[in-house]
Amino acid sequence: MASNAAVPFWRAAGMTYITYSNICANLVRNCLKEPYKTEALAREKVHFSISKWTDGKPEKPTLRSDSPVE
């Protein structure tokens, strides 16, 4: 099942469709006028802590956060 059409540029760059749509959504949000713009951007903050486990041992968790670490 090889794709003979050209792969879209974002997939060739290593992004998934989700990353691509998030970037596009951010672009649309940036097009808003104030004050809606700051409200929308404040709504979409991301924060979680992810830790990968190998062989039953956890590695150091990485914090993915847009909000500043206090």
Partner 1 sequence: MAMAALRREGRRFAPLISPRPITAFRSSPLAPTREAEGPIGVRYISTQVVRNRMKSVKNIQKITKAMKMVAASKLRAIQTKAENSRGLWQPFTALLGDTPSVDVKKNVIVTVSSDKGLCGGINSTSVKISKALHKLNSGPENETKYVILGEKAKAQLVRDSKKDIELIITELQKNPLSYTQVSVLADDILKNVEFDALRIVFNKFHSVVSFLPTVSTVLSPEIVEREAEAGGKLGDLDSYEIEGGETKGEILQNLTEFQFSCVMFNSVLENACSEQGARMSAMDSSSRNAGDMLDRLTLTYNRTRQASITTELIEIISGASALEG
Among 55, 60, 68, 69, binds partner 1 (CB under 8 A): 55
For residues 37 and 29, is the Cβ–Cβ distance under 8 A?
yes
Virtual torsion, Cα 44, 49, 54, 57, nearest 10 deg: -170
> Quick one: tokens of 14?
């290593």
Report the nearest approach of partner 1 to the CB of residue 60 (Å).
Answer: 12
Residues between 11 and 40 with contacts to partner 1, criterion CB under 8 A: 11, 16-19, 21-22, 25
Contact residues for partner 1 (CB under 8 A)? 1-8, 11, 16-19, 21-22, 25, 43-53, 55-56, 58, 61, 63-64, 67
